[in-house]
Chain A
Amino acid sequence: MTALVLNGLVNGIIVGGLYALLGLSLSLLYGVLRVVNFAHGELVIGGSFVAYMLFRALGLPPLYSLPVAAVSFFAAGWCAYYLLIPRLSRSDDPETMSFLLMYGLSIALAATLLLLFGADSRSIDYSFNPISVAIGPVNVSTARVVALAVTIVITAAMGWFLFRTLPGKALRAATMNREATQIIGINVVRLSALAFALAFAIAGMTGVLIALVFPAFSPFSGGEYSIIGFIVIVLGGLGNPVGALIAGVFYGVAEQMATVFLPQALAQIVGFALLVGTILVRPTGLFGFRALR
């Protein structure tokens, strides 16, 4: 029993790290732009398929496709921002309309992946040299440990960027008060484009890691990750990147523990119930503070 619980805990932290990345990029977008990215899951799966393609075509190990995914998704995000968002802000209710827009994007992306790769589940047939490592009494696959390490590196880099560099501080400032940021002479449009591109880049890298950690992915599995991302950002407080990190790990552990103690289907309901309960009881999130307006 203790072995099962320990196993759940370790895997929960690894999976939770990925969920934290989902939440991090979603909350970055929501914070700066008030855009809820419904297409996030599909973007993530797009990242998985980039790793899959590079591995199949060039034999590139998944870790090397991380920078490729990051750069290509960053560029795609930059373009997507200028294509989509400036027009959006002209509508009567940009927040709801952004949800609808991203919904359309998610349908279009899933359909594109379906056309390119077919409906079958795919996996990357790649393994590290010792296939698994022992952490105390628990055996974990090396791929998962590597994924956790990469997650920590990405998170640390984002933390350094957000808290130590000028553009990062500007991003956080825009999250707190967009108008005031504009008044002190920061180019909010370019900043928003940066946030959009960064969120896309994180999504792409998350996708590569998901291809390492989870056994399979298909064009239809994007929706699940979007929902997990929503749960995480709501638990952590919308637009709060640090809260999203904590909430991601928390939710990952809770989910893995639930699969230890409950049947699979109930574990899914637990996630939804957690989300609904949190919003109804504490709309600012478990770790949130009331946003300054």
Chain B
Amino acid sequence: MTKPPSPLALADREHGDRIYRRLAVLLGAAVSIYFVSVPLLGLNVAFHFYMMLWVTMATAFNITSGFSGYMPFGYVAFYGVGAFTTAVLVKKAGFAMFVALPVAGLAGVLLSLLFAPTLRLSGIYFAIVSFALAGICRLTIANLPEEITGGSFGLQLGSRAQPIFAFYTMMAVMLAALLGVLWLSRSRLGKALRAVRDDADAADMMGVNVGWVRLQGWMLAAFFPALCGGVEAWYTNVVDTETAFNTLITAKTVIYAVAGGLGTVTGPVVGAIAMSWLDELIWRRFPLINLLLLGVAVMLLVLFLPRGLVGTILRARPQWRRYIP
């Protein structure tokens, strides 16, 4: 026996939704204008390219960790496979870049289907298995015949460097990821994912197809890092197993997403932008102890801001949850 919501409550909700939409559009416009003008104003293209890359990675990671409750510590697997798919298709099969990139994204989705059986694990088991699977991917690609993946030297894309094109492609990927998550956070699928994360049995009782919902979230979360890997391969013109499967890529993705706050759309964006700046500052000031500071920053983050920047604000002001994307 659910009562229909009173007109007052309805009006209130519509008011909240309006603010939410306005904030989303405002933030999206601000981010787009900022990044569009980076090459035009002659700002540091490389720095902003990687900032967008981390925003995309953290946002996509948020789909699997924030919405679905999985912590894939081998997230780099999708990135690396995307990078290698792009490189092999362009270099060996002679594909155009704009054909190779979507195929790389599909390769990420395909890999996620291959990893789908791990979704029945939870917590630390899932994290460890994911980590091991990333190791298997790296070793497999490193041991493929040298004619295909270039062995330990990797692949050079040669004269295909078009940094500005790659920059704007990265921006398109980032905006697609942000729109995707924005849609997800209000969609039926997003609600189902959250319900499954909080209590799979209860969601099952309510008629949610737990397995299918989880798989959808998982595929979505695999698509974007594969694209990121592909675009980065295009941008740097070089792919090799040591950098494309570096565990630091997973580490940074997780750290940036957690720094902003999992489960919100703005969290990973804020986290990735803030931490990219911090990383750059640390790099410039203390190039030697950069890695040490990164490690310490992770520990401090976990100990003092486990909910991230946005998550902490929302906890202090729960009523803002309706307005902030």
Q: A223–B128 contact, CB under 8 A?
A: no
With A and B bound together, what is the CA distance between A283 and B258 in angstroms?
28
Contact B132 A272 (CB under 8 A): yes
Q: In the complex, A276 Cα to B129 Cα: how many Å?
A: 6
Tell me whether A110 is interfacial, beta carbon within 8 Å: yes
A interface footprint on B115-144 (CB within 8 Å = 1, 0 otherwise): 001100101110111011101100110110
Q: Which of A92, A100, A115, A275 contacts B132 (CB 8 A)?
A: A275
Alpha-carbon distance between A223 and B248 when the two chains are bound, in angstroms: 12
List residues 232-284 of chain A with CB under 8 A from any CB of chain B: 234, 238, 265-266, 268-269, 272-273, 275-276, 279-280, 283
Residues on A with C-beta less than 8 A from B117 are 280
B254 at interface, CB cutoff 8 A: yes
Interface of chain B residues 73 through 125 with chain A (CB within 8 A): 73, 117-118, 121, 123-125
B286 smallest CB distance to A (angstroms): 11
A104-134 Cβ-contact flags toward B at 8 Å (1 or 0) = 1111111110110000000000000000000
Interface string of B199-218 (1 = CB under 8 A from A): 00000000000000000000
Inter-chain CA distance A115–B288, complex, in Å, is 8
| Shortest distance from the beta carbon of B84 to any chain A beta carbon, whole Å | 17
Please indicate which of the listed interface residues B73, B118, B143, B299 has the most CB atoms of chain A within 10 Å of its own CB.
Answer: B299
Which residue of the partner chain, among B125, B247, B298, contacts A100 with CB atoms under 8 Å? B298
A-B CB contacts (within 8 Å), total count: 121
B292's contact among A88, A90, A108, by CB below 8 Å, is which? A108
**Which residues on A sit within 8 Å (CB–CB) of B9?**
none
Instruction: Assess whether A97 is in contact with B302, with CB atoms less than 8 Å apart.
Output: yes
Chain B interface residue number, banded? 35 or more
A84, B299: Cβ atoms under 8 Å?
A: yes
The count of residues in chain A whose C-beta lies closer than 8 Å to any C-beta of chain B is 42
Closest to A264 in B: B143
Residues on A with beta carbons closer than 8 Å to the beta carbon of B71: 96, 99
Q: How far is the CA of A111 from the CA of B118 in the complex (A)?
A: 32
Taking a contact as CB atoms under 8 Å apart, the answer to whether B295 and A108 are in contact is: yes
* Residue numbers in B under 8 Å from A272 (CB-CB): 132-133, 135-136, 139
Q: Establish whether residues B302 and A100, one from each chain, have CB atoms under 8 Å apart when the complex forms.
A: yes
A90-B305 Cα distance, complex, nearest whole Å: 11
* Interface 0/1 of A85-104, CB less than 8 Å to B: 00110111001110111011
CA distance A92 to B123 in the complex (A): 13
Q: Are A95 and B123 in contact (CB under 8 A)?
A: yes
Please tell me if A213 contacts chain B, counting CB pairs below 8 Å: no
Q: How many Å from the CB of A233 to the closest CB on chain B?
A: 9
Cβ contact of B306, chosen from A97, A223, A273, cutoff 8 A: A97
A91-B302, A97-B302, A110-B291 as given contacts; A276 in contact with B73, CB under 8 Å: no
B266-298 at interface with A (beta carbon < 8 Å): 288-289, 291-292, 294-298
Q: List 9 A-B contacts (CB under 8 A).
A: A97-B302, A100-B258, A101-B298, A108-B294, A111-B294, A234-B125, A266-B143, A279-B125, A280-B117
Given contacts A88-B303, A100-B254, 5 further A-B contacts (CB under 8 A): A92-B307, A114-B291, A230-B128, A279-B125, A280-B118
Nearest 9 A/B pairs, CB to CB: A104-B298, A108-B295, A107-B295, A91-B306, A111-B292, A111-B291, A104-B299, A101-B302, A272-B132
